[in-house]
């Protein structure tokens, strides 16, 4: 039986569309985990990246932090957090946030440092306060690259949130883990297809955000 037959059998089975193990429920759980992790990672990475990028200080430290965080295996960290903290959402959120912070942090820093210094110097010469320079001069120009960092983090979270199923939580990973245990490869392929579809939807959402949030002049220049 090929992959397309597995996909067709999974999505055509009405039992997969209802109940606690139905696609709508698992999809909602997966989105909830992903949005929560992305919000926490953005709350950590964006302010630090904006501040260090604006001042030009701490670039080497950010690179070290990002390298160290990327070296941590998400599944290994999940198991460690599960042993230390037990069941719950926290052991899942920690690996996902650790995975997502580096691309947001580093990309935001690099985006701020890539802004043309001429308008920044002109704003300072006009007596504009530093917070206004940051949010009114630098941020609009740096926004496309900042959004690319958020997009990268979101895709990684959506793809990795399947690990929640390994500690008895829900999400689309439930189909993959349960399918492997039951040797039900229809479930495995169906779950993987849903994760891939959600990742594509995430890409589309960030494309739309970029179109509406970034000014046309900045889009053309980048």
Q: What is the pLDDT of residues 136-169, one digit of tens each?
A: 888 888 999 999 999 999 999 999 999 898 887 8
Length of the chain: 222
Inter-residue contact 177 to 120 (CB < 8 Å): no
Q: Which domain holds residue 72?
A: 3-221
1's enclosing H/E stretch is none
Quote the CA–CA distance of 41 and 62 in Å, as a whole number.
15
Q: What is the pLDDT of residues 12-58, one digit of tens each?
A: 888 889 888 899 999 999 999 999 999 999 999 999 999 998 887 77
What is the token pair recorded at 12?
């055509």
Count of C-beta atoms within a 10 Å radius of residue 76: 10
- CATH number, domain of 188, equals 1.10.3720.10
Please, which residues have CB within 8 angstroms of residue 111's CB and are 6 or more apart in sequence?
49, 53, 142, 143, 144, 145, 146, 149
Report how many domains make up the chain: 1
DSSP secondary structure, 170-212, as one string: -STHHHHHHHHHHT-HHHHHHHHHHHHHHHHHHHHHHHHHHHH
The pLDDT value given to residue 73: 79
* Arithmetic mean of pLDDT over the chain: 88
How confident is the model over 107-116, as a mean pLDDT? 90
Q: What is the pLDDT of residues 161-191, one digit of tens each?
A: 998 988 878 899 999 999 998 888 999 999 9
């Amino acid at each position: 039986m090929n992959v397309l037959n597995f996909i067709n059998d999974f999505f055509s089975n009405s039992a997969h569309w209802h109940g606690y193990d139905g696609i709508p429920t698992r999809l909602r759980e997966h989105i909830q985990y992903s949005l929560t992790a992305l919000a926490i990672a953005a709350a950590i990475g964006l302010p630090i990246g904006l501040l260090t990028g604006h001042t030009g200080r701490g670039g080497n430290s950010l690179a070290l932090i990002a390298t160290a965080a990327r070296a941590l295996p998400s599944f290994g960290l999940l198991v460690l957090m599960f042993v230390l903290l037990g069941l719950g959402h926290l052991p899942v959120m920690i690996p996902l946030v650790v995975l997502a912070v580096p691309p947001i942090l580093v990309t935001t820093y690099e985006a701020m440092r890539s802004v043309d210094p001429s308008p920044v110097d002109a704003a300072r010469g006009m007596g504009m306060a530093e917070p206004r320079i940051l949010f009114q001069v630098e941020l609009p120009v740096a926004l496309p690259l900042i959004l690319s960092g958020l997009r990268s983090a979101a895709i990684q979270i959506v793809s990795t949130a399947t690990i929640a199923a390994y500690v008895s939580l829900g999400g689309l990973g439930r189909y993959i883990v349960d399918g492997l245990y039951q040797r039900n490869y229809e479930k495995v392929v169906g779950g993987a297809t849903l994760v891939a579809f959600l990742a594509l939807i995430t890409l589309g959402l960030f494309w739309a955000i970029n179109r509406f949030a970034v000014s046309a002049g900045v889009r053309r220049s980048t």
